[in-house]
Amino acid sequence: MNITVTLIGQMAAFVLLIWFVNKVLWGPLNNLLAERQKRIADGLAAAEKGKHELELSEKRAREMLREAKTQAAEIIAQSEKRATEIIEEAKADARSEGERLIAAARAEIDQEVNRAKEQLRAQVAAIAVAGAERILKREIDEKAHADLLQDLVAQIR
Partner 1 sequence: MSAKEQSGGGTVEYIQHHLTNLCAGDCDPVTHKAASFWAWHLDTLFFSIALGALIVVVSWRLSLRLTAGVPGGFQNFVESLVEFVSGQVKDSFPGHNPLIAPMALTIFVWVWLMNFMDLIPVDLLPVIAGFFGIQYLKVVPTTDLSTTFALSLTVFILIVYYNIKVKGALGYLKMFLFHPFGKYLVPVNIVMTLIEELAKPLSLGLRLFGNLFAGELVFLLIALIGGTLAVGAAALFWLPLQVVLDLGWLIFHLLIITLQAFIFMVLTIVYLGMAHVSEH
Which is nearer to partner 1, 31 or 96 (by Cβ)? 31
The interface mask with partner 1, positions 43-62, x = CB under 8 A, is --------------------
Identify which of 123, 131, 133, 115 has the alpha carbon closest to the alpha carbon of residue 156.
123
Which is nearer to partner 1, 33 or 130 (by Cβ)? 33
- Vertex 61, ends 57 and 63: CA angle to 5°? 115
Could you say whether residue 130 binds partner 1 (CB under 8 A)?
no
Mind giving me the DSSP string for 67-133?
Answer: HHHHHHHHHHHHHHHHHHHHHHHHHHHHHHHHHHHHHHHHHHHHHHHHHHHHHHHHHHHHHHHHHHH
Amino acid at 135: I
Could you say whether residue 9 binds partner 1 (CB under 8 A)?
yes
Could you say whether residue 156 binds partner 1 (CB under 8 A)?
no
**Of 29-37, 57-65, 73-81, 95-103, which part binds partner 1 (CB under 8 A)?**
29-37
Could you say whether residue 16 binds partner 1 (CB under 8 A)?
yes
The contact set with partner 1 (CB under 8 A) reads 1-11, 13-18, 20-22, 24-30, 32-33, 35-36, 39
